[in-house]
Chain A
Amino acid sequence: MDEQKLKDNIEVLEIKLHQLRNDYMLTKNDHENSTKKYLELVSQLSEKNKELEILKDSLEILVAERTGELLESEENLRHKNEELQIILDSSPVLIFYKDRKDKFVRVNKSFADFFGMLHEEITKKKSKDLFPESSSKQKKDEKTVIKTGKPKLNVIEEVITHNGTKWLSIDKVPYKDSTGKIIGIIGFGFDITKSKETEEENKRLQDQLFQSQKLESIGRLAGGIAHDFNNILAVISGYSEILRTYTKDLDPKMTKAVKAISDSSKRASKLTKQLLSFARRGRFNPVALDLNRLISDTVKVSEKIFEKKVTVRYDLDDDIKSVEGDKNQIIQVVTNLVINAKDAMPDGGLIEIKTRNVHVTKKQLKEFPELNPGEYVQLSISDTGVGIKDEVKQRIFEPFFTTKKEGIGTGLGLATTYGIVRHHRGFIDFQTRIGEGTTFTIWLPSSEKTVEDAKHKDEIIRGSATILVVDDEKSIRTLTKELLEDLGYTVLLAKDGFEALDIFCENRTRIDLVLLDMLMPKMDGRETYFKLTEIDPEIKVLIISGYIQDEKAYDVLNKGALGFIHKPYTINEISRHLSNALKN
């Protein structure tokens, strides 16, 4: 490569980087906007609540009618005291009469039973002696009913009984004598504890469902963007790596420029990888992991950068089961949670990290119908920090949501964590108290597999085999060819599945391995793979892709492909994958 060509190439890379940066900033804004718009759409669903409101109104009318009927018969009932008591006692509604001085005149059986007292224990006693903890609002309500003669309906009261806290809906109507003078108050209480509880439970479930649907769709948006970026970045970083090997002996200025490009594109690629793992499309290399060891290795590193004021305490279960997962992703989860905990304690404090084997029941998984109950490993990270405000709670898992200063938080930490945990078929939850601290807990399915020691090699392994590269994108094709040739391989290129089949048929004896892109128009990687195996069932294939459309890549891996390489890749990575696959 002569110097001019090199300069040109660097210029193009610089422009691309500049354009990419601007696009990225705008896309980030748009993204926040889309999130907002999406929330608006979701909130329209609450229109439905209005219908409920109307239903409630008509119910209220019914209650009022019934109350009216009861009142009408009051005159007669006064003269038929005993009959009355029998009738009252047969009602499931809690009924009481009080005089103007707050003394109970009569209560029915339901009322007495509800509070666990006898009829005689109640009558003639003042309500404030019987229920000392009743609220002042309640007293005021009753006074106004007596004063104005207007009933107060559907008053919700929390009461304490021998059976615990209960909720009553009470209609309070004035108690009039035959002349119409108000002599006290009559109450009808309905036990609504059950419906109140289910209502709250339903609301909570619904909120959670919205939350997870929202995150799913944001994830799809994010994934789409990140995928395109990744393809552009693959080219930028690939070429700058090539440039780097060539510029060694040239002008030091140029070496610096190339290094700057390659460094920035690495940073950008890290960002998009985070986005991809949030969108659950990232690379996924599951192995059995020892969470305890992973935690101590990871946190020890971060501990060094903490100021002394932050102490970390470990409470790790020695018998912890292994989990199957992608090591780097799980490290990312632990790091994100620990850094958030540290950030929440500007004046220092205590971080506690705990692992346990737990059994997760079907009930706990109500919001995650796709998960199976059974054995899980539970990891919780607690801090003694500032806590999370109610209005923030809703949004912490959204990508780009942050309360931190610009430059400190990108707001991707928890979004990524959420994506990774869900990708591992686990779930996440948190508990927080303002001023006291926060605990994030994740559950991952435990595994019976034993943990193996993984050895990482960073060397570049050269080779001499013949490789057929199939990719629909020209720039990627050329880049791969240059990389592989530098490694010593002979390379054939095909621009789609059809061409790949033709070339493979003609050169069957020469080709040692096929590098196959998954996402191609017309015939995709999966179909191409099956056609290739029809020609040669022993064929060696490595899948290569910007992201996995899970089922497809897994399907191909299950059907015998030798491995999966994620774009953008480094020379080390591809060289290692190739030499492993060819050894087989």
Chain B
Amino acid sequence: MNIEELVEKVNNSEISSIRQVVVRIVEVINDPDSSAKDLKDIIEIDPPLSAKLLKLSNSAIYGYPKRIMEIQEAIVCIGFEAVKELALSQKVCEVFMKTEALFDYTRLELWKHCVAVAMFSKLIARREFLERGENMYVAGLLHDIGIIIIDQFLQKEFISILERESEEKRNLNLIEKEVIGYDHTDISKAVFESWDVPDQIIMAISRHHDPLSIDDEHTKNAAIIFLADYFCCKNYIGYGDSTYTYVKTVYDCLEKFGIKEKAMEIILSEVEEEIRKMEQGGFFNG
């Protein structure tokens, strides 16, 4: 199957049902004039999402003393930013819902990985680059969607890819390329281009395994996802597809942007803590 056919299949499948909500929230993120009402409207069109969001808004993670009954209230009580992230991560979660354990990989574990990479990327953007980091959050959340797509539409190939990964101890994307001719970053790029996701996000995702090969305005964002991905995998937060990354690239990245390794460790411990709280709060129960 070539990549165009694959994209068409994806767009005719359940996966594309997240498109509208995701793209519209990304619009809200990038439009300084957008209002809390815009966000509320986007969420309320989707009743199951609204219900889930209210349930989580009332969980111990946010520790809000009164019962939150409406999305509008959630925006006021736990914050505009938090509701955006919650809505995105819960919507994207729908793609990961079906659990089928193969080797190390289960979809929910992969989702946990994506949530961790999202948080990690956002923190790097904020702490090291003084940027708001919301687009990096989105990119982190979506960066490995390509893997799910392979799992769903190229199941036979995927089984052999996973087998080879554990035998050859090489990163997943390299083996994907050998087996099917393209890897999960190529797939993500093609799908998100057809969804009108902003370039900035697409390029960060599509180059997240190879950030330094080209030096342009997207290099920094790709490097952010790459670093977040690497540190999450190395510390076994969820299922990792970058366990065998070439460490030199990591150090090159850190050096290029003047980031200290200790800075990554500090962020890591915060992400770990946050994920632990989310686990306790039932966030990953699907």
Using a CB-CB cutoff of 8 Å, which residues 196-249 of chain A contact chain B?
Answer: 217, 220-221
Residues from chain A with a CB closer than 8 A to the CB of B267 are: 19
Pick the 7 closest A-B CB pairs, nearest first.
A19-B127, A37-B36, A40-B35, A15-B263, A22-B130, A37-B80, A22-B127
Are A221 and B132 also in contact (CB < 8 A) when A11-B260, A41-B37 are? no
Query: Is A30 in the interface zone, CB < 8 Å from B?
Result: yes
Of the candidates A16, A23, A34, the one having the most CB atoms from chain B within 10 angstroms of its own CB is A34
Measured CA separation A44–B126 after assembly (Å): 32
Residues from chain B with a CB closer than 8 A to the CB of A11 are: 260, 262
List, sorted by A's number, 13 A–B pairs whose CB atoms are closer than 8 Å. Answer: A11-B262, A18-B263, A19-B127, A22-B127, A29-B132, A34-B80, A37-B36, A41-B36, A41-B76, A217-B77, A220-B64, A220-B77, A521-B280
State whether B76 touches A217 (Cβ < 8 A). yes
Are A30 and B127 also in contact (CB < 8 A) when A12-B266, A38-B76, A41-B75 are? no
Residues from chain A with a CB closer than 8 A to the CB of B131 are: 26
State whether B127 touches A33 (Cβ < 8 A). no
Measured CA separation A577–B107 after assembly (Å): 52
A212: min CB distance to chain B, Å: 14
Using a CB-CB cutoff of 8 Å, which residues 2-51 of chain A contact chain B?
Answer: 11-12, 15-16, 18-19, 22-23, 25-26, 29-30, 33-34, 37-38, 40-41, 44
State whether B37 touches A19 (Cβ < 8 A). no
Given A22-B128, A221-B79, 9 new contacts (CB under 8 A): A12-B266, A15-B263, A16-B266, A19-B266, A26-B131, A30-B132, A37-B80, A41-B75, A44-B37
Query: Is B72 in the interface zone, CB < 8 Å from A?
Result: yes
Query: Is B159 in the interface zone, CB < 8 Å from A?
Result: no
Measured CA separation A16–B72 after assembly (Å): 35
Using a CB-CB cutoff of 8 Å, which residues 47-98 of chain B contact chain A?
Answer: 60, 64, 72, 75-77, 79-81
State whether B262 touches A12 (Cβ < 8 A). yes
Residue of B nearest to A220 (CB): B77
Residue of B nearest to A217 (CB): B76
Residues from chain A with a CB closer than 8 A to the CB of B126 are: 22-23, 26
Residue of A nearest to B40 (CB): A41
Residues from chain A with a CB closer than 8 A to the CB of B128 are: 19, 22
Using a CB-CB cutoff of 8 Å, which residues 103-139 of chain B contact chain A?
Answer: 126-128, 130-133
Residues from chain B with a CB closer than 8 A to the CB of A16 are: 266
State whether A38 touches B263 (Cβ < 8 A). no
Measured CA separation A11–B266 after assembly (Å): 12
State whether A26 touches B72 (Cβ < 8 A). no
Residue of A nearest to B132 (CB): A26
Residues from chain A with a CB closer than 8 A to the CB of B127 are: 18-19, 22-23
Residue of B nearest to A549 (CB): B65
B44: min CB distance to chain A, Å: 14
Measured CA separation A125–B191 after assembly (Å): 86
Residues from chain B with a CB closer than 8 A to the CB of A41 are: 36-37, 72, 75-76
1/0 per residue B26-56: CB within 8 Å of A? 0000000001110000000000000000000
Measured CA separation A15–B132 after assembly (Å): 19
State whether B79 touches A34 (Cβ < 8 A). yes
State whether A26 touches B130 (Cβ < 8 A). yes
A225: min CB distance to chain B, Å: 9
| Interface class of chain A by DSSP | helix
State whether A37 touches B75 (Cβ < 8 A). yes
How big is chain B's contact interface, by range? 20 to 34
Measured CA separation A16–B264 after assembly (Å): 11
Measured CA separation A522–B60 after assembly (Å): 10
Measured CA separation A38–B132 after assembly (Å): 19
Measured CA separation A30–B134 after assembly (Å): 12
Are A37 and B266 also in contact (CB < 8 A) when A11-B260, A30-B81, A521-B60 are? no
A12: min CB distance to chain B, Å: 6
Residues from chain B with a CB closer than 8 A to the CB of A23 are: 126-127
Measured CA separation A37–B84 after assembly (Å): 13
Residue of A nearest to B60 (CB): A521
Residues from chain A with a CB closer than 8 A to the CB of B60 are: 521
Residue of A nearest to B261 (CB): A15
Measured CA separation A18–B130 after assembly (Å): 10
A458: min CB distance to chain B, Å: 33
Measured CA separation A103–B52 after assembly (Å): 73
Residue of A nearest to B133 (CB): A26
Residues from chain B with a CB closer than 8 A to the CB of A34 are: 79-81
Among candidates A15, A22, A37, A521, residue contacting B262 with C-beta atoms closer than 8 Å: A15
1/0 per residue B156-192: CB within 8 Å of A? 0000000000000000000000000000000000000
Are A40 and B36 also in contact (CB < 8 A) when A25-B130, A34-B80, A217-B76 are? yes
Residue of A nearest to B280 (CB): A521
Are A38 and B266 also in contact (CB < 8 A) when A22-B126, A26-B132, A521-B60 are? no
Measured CA separation A220–B82 after assembly (Å): 14
Measured CA separation A26–B130 after assembly (Å): 7
Measured CA separation A44–B72 after assembly (Å): 11
Measured CA separation A212–B77 after assembly (Å): 15
Residues from chain B with a CB closer than 8 A to the CB of A33 are: 80
Residues from chain A with a CB closer than 8 A to the CB of B132 are: 26, 29-30
Measured CA separation A136–B37 after assembly (Å): 46
Residues from chain B with a CB closer than 8 A to the CB of A217 are: 76-77
A68: min CB distance to chain B, Å: 43
State whether B36 touches A15 (Cβ < 8 A). no
Residues from chain B with a CB closer than 8 A to the CB of A38 are: 36, 76
State whether A15 touches B260 (Cβ < 8 A). yes
Measured CA separation A521–B63 after assembly (Å): 11
Measured CA separation A12–B262 after assembly (Å): 7
Measured CA separation A22–B128 after assembly (Å): 8
Measured CA separation A417–B80 after assembly (Å): 26
1/0 per residue B216-233: CB within 8 Å of A? 000000000000000000
Measured CA separation A18–B131 after assembly (Å): 14
Residues from chain B with a CB closer than 8 A to the CB of A22 are: 126-128, 130
Residues from chain A with a CB closer than 8 A to the CB of B37 are: 40-41, 44
Residue of A nearest to B35 (CB): A40
Residue of B nearest to A11 (CB): B262
A497: min CB distance to chain B, Å: 15
Residues from chain B with a CB closer than 8 A to the CB of A30 are: 80-81, 132
Measured CA separation A53–B79 after assembly (Å): 33
Residues from chain B with a CB closer than 8 A to the CB of A221 are: 79
B124: min CB distance to chain A, Å: 10
Measured CA separation A44–B260 after assembly (Å): 47
Residue of B nearest to A41 (CB): B36
B279: min CB distance to chain A, Å: 12
Are A37 and B130 also in contact (CB < 8 A) when A11-B262, A217-B76 are? no
B260: min CB distance to chain A, Å: 6
A522: min CB distance to chain B, Å: 9
Residue of B nearest to A213 (CB): B76
Measured CA separation A538–B81 after assembly (Å): 47
Residues from chain A with a CB closer than 8 A to the CB of B133 are: 26
1/0 per residue B132-153: CB within 8 Å of A? 1100000000000000000000
A465: min CB distance to chain B, Å: 32
Measured CA separation A40–B40 after assembly (Å): 12
Residues from chain A with a CB closer than 8 A to the CB of B266 are: 12, 15-16, 19
Measured CA separation A16–B127 after assembly (Å): 9
Using a CB-CB cutoff of 8 Å, which residues 434-465 of chain A contact chain B?
Answer: none
A16: min CB distance to chain B, Å: 6
Using a CB-CB cutoff of 8 Å, which residues 256-284 of chain B contact chain A?
Answer: 260, 262-263, 266-267, 280
1/0 per residue A485-517: CB within 8 Å of B? 000000000000000000000000000000000
Measured CA separation A272–B86 after assembly (Å): 26
Residues from chain A with a CB closer than 8 A to the CB of B130 are: 22, 25-26
Measured CA separation A34–B128 after assembly (Å): 23
Measured CA separation A25–B126 after assembly (Å): 10
Measured CA separation A18–B80 after assembly (Å): 25
